[in-house]
Amino acid sequence: MHWTDVTAQSLSHKGKKHIVSTGITPSGEFHIGHLREILTGDMIARAAQDAGLDVEFVFIIDSADPLRKVYDFLGPEYEQFVGNQLGAIPAPDEDGNPDWERFEKEGWTYANHFLEPFLKALNEIGVKPRLIDNLESYRSGRFAELSKIACDRAEDIRECIERISSRELPDNWFPWSPLNSKKGLDKVKVTGYDYPLVHWKDEYGETGSSDISKGEGKLPWRIDWPAKWGWIGVTCEAFGKDHGAAGGSYSTGREIAHLLGHEPPQPLVYEWISLKGQGAMSSSAGNTIGPIEALELVPPEILRLLIAKSKPNKAIEFDTGMGLVTLADEYERLAARDFDKELANDELSRRQRVQIEDAAGALRMASTVAGGKAQATAVTFRHLALLAQTKKNDEDVWSSLQSSGAIDAVTPELQDRLSRMRHWIHSRHFPAEMRITILEQPNMEMLKMFDDDEKKILANMTAAMEACVWDAQSIGACIPQAARDLDLSPRSAFKVAYAALMGAEKGPRLAPILAEMEQQEILSILRACMTSITE
């Protein structure tokens, strides 16, 4: 059974109605690590739906969280906002300075700024959650009731956090962080509580009262989370391993949920995604790849497959080079399979059955449309990468595919695939080993291996190319002819051609590539090869 179905099954034992939740703090650029959070939730919701449950998927935007520090991408002016809520401060402009104009005119906040491109990517990936803005929820009083319970039971909650996370809370700790005189959540001390008011004094010497029913502050994270479970009715939540550790926020959260009077959701801890060879992703280290950037390289279903095929507790290394080829080709293979037929075989061992079910589940989750049927495009990534490089315009790519019988018609999916492929080829991610290059200098290693026959072929070929009309068909004819004239197999002629022009034993179909290049360039490299052989 696929991991999403396992989770759905265990949810079904607890009831029919479910809310699967997910949440992210919009403190900076979103990256594909965040995509795992939200796709994990989306996939569980889809599996639960498939299992006949009544399920809703929500995405909580933690816009009530404070700005922790002035990140590298922010200008020094942001110093004044440290501690202020992300949904209440202006977005950075291109230079990293606060965009006051948009903030005042449109209410365009820091949270909006980072959230919007992510939401666009989600839409393309087929994730359509109900959005819950956390700051707005505080302001509209959604947290009021649970905040009251938290404040009333401050000592119980303190005991719980201290016991489970084995950290000591300061004497003046209180389960409510009021906004200070500068609308910040830091540098403020609670001096008293008298529902609905929490009295405070800040480091600037100001005092005031925060109305907990109006969002004039927020619950600290460890209480904020279980409180959200309560008022939203969350029954299942996937979260990163950082929250899942013993003593972490889930273990305190589940107990605080009970104190607040509701059941904690079923947890699903997932591992992080790292960029191959670069460690964990971190916006400040600059080694991120955003969902948008990833979508420029591969279609959404392949991105989904990346998440779907690995169990949540497996760390994923996202490889934007050759790994992408493998992943995309894996998708094609899966899409071409007939799982129902495979599973109809009674002689399957338990292990084989599990493997087929998992593959089918991963493919089902990869579709951007729930219940959508994956279409095999019959053109592998590898193949398309070749064609895209050798043929400058799309029409030539399609006619090549059609004449070889690989495809019947050009579908929008194929056009989409090709355009992303061209993006990838031009990006820094495209792997060198996939790149087709014609040598500029002879490769001596390869040439040294030539026997006398091969040397003769090279001479013949050079002469033929000199005389040849420079189009794909004629070039294609003169390569094997160089061998035939000597009563040798065409195969050996290609071997010589690859060695001389690409420094490789074999390669892609040469003629169309050469035809795209200048005849003189090719001749000069061939002549250079001949010179170096005779020396």
* Residues 6+ away with beta carbon under 8 Å from 326: none
Query: Rounded to the nearest whole angstrom, what is the least distance from the CB of residue 493 to RNA in the complex?
Result: 7
Our CB check for RNA shows the closer of 213 and 308 to be 308
* Preceding peptide of 196 cis, ω within 30°: yes
Q: Give the Å distances, CA to CA, from 80 to 97, 209, 255, 502.
A: 12, 22, 36, 59
Nearer to RNA by Cβ, of 49 and 134: the residue is 134
Q: What backbone phi and psi angles, to 5 degrees, belong to 51?
A: -85, 5
Measured from the CB atom, the residue of 230 and 503 that comes closer to RNA is 503
Kindly report the length of the chain.
535
| Dist CA 286 CA 500 (whole Å) | 41
The gap between the terminal CA atoms of the chain, to the nearest Å, is 65
Give dist(CA 91, CA 73) in Å, integer.
12
Crossing angle of helices 472-484 and 452-467, rounded to 10°? 150
Contact 444, 505 (CB under 8 A): no
CB burial of residue 184 (10 Å; 0-12, 13-18, 19+): buried
User: Per the structure block, which two tokens stand in for 40?
Assistant: 């994990």
CA distance 296 to 348: 40
Shorter beta-carbon distance to RNA: residue 321 or 508: 508
140 or 355, CB closer to RNA? Answer: 355
97 vs 474, beta carbon nearer RNA: 474
Report the distance separating Cα 473 and Cα 490, nearest Å. Answer: 16
C-alpha–C-alpha distance, residues 18 and 8, integer Å: 10
Instruction: Output the smallest distance, CB 108 to RNA, in A.
Output: 20
What minimum distance in Å lies between the beta carbon of 317 and RNA?
6
The tokens describing 494, both together, are 């290609």
* Smallest separation, CB 486 to RNA (Å): 15
Determine contact, residues 67/114, Cβ cutoff 8 Å: no
* Rounded Cα–Cα distance for residues 214 and 197 (Å): 10
Minimum separation from the CB atom of position 521 to RNA (A): 18
Q: Which is nearer to RNA, 213 or 511 (CB)?
A: 511
* Closest CA relative to residue 221, chosen from 57, 66, 20: 66
Cβ proximity to RNA: between 161 and 213 the closer is 161
- For the bound state, the minimum distance from the C-beta of residue 86 to RNA, rounded and expressed in Å, comes to 11
Closest distance of CB 502 from RNA, Å: 7
CB of 534 to RNA, least distance (A): 23
Q: Which C-beta is closer to RNA: that of 213 or that of 294?
A: 294
The tokens for 322 are: 């050759």
Q: Are 511 and 464 in contact (CB under 8 A)?
A: no
Nearer to RNA, 30 or 231 (CB): 30
CB of 316 to RNA, least distance (A): 7
User: Which CB, 436 or 528, lies closer to RNA?
Assistant: 436
For residue 133, what are the β-bridge partners? 61
Give the side-chain half-sphere CA count within 13 A for 39.
Answer: 35
| 462 vs 464: CA distance, rounded Å | 5
Find the shortest distance in angstroms from Cβ 286 to RNA. 13
Q: Give, in order, the Cα–Cα distances in Å from 502 to each of 45, 125, 240, 392, 461.
A: 50, 39, 46, 20, 15
Please report how close the Cβ of residue 495 comes to RNA at its closest, in angstroms. 7
Strand partners, 60: 23, 132
CB of 383 to RNA, least distance (A): 5
Structure tokens at 433: 């080993």
**213 vs 417 by CB, closer to RNA:** 417
Identify whether the C-beta of residue 40 lies closer than 8 Å to the C-beta of residue 257.
no
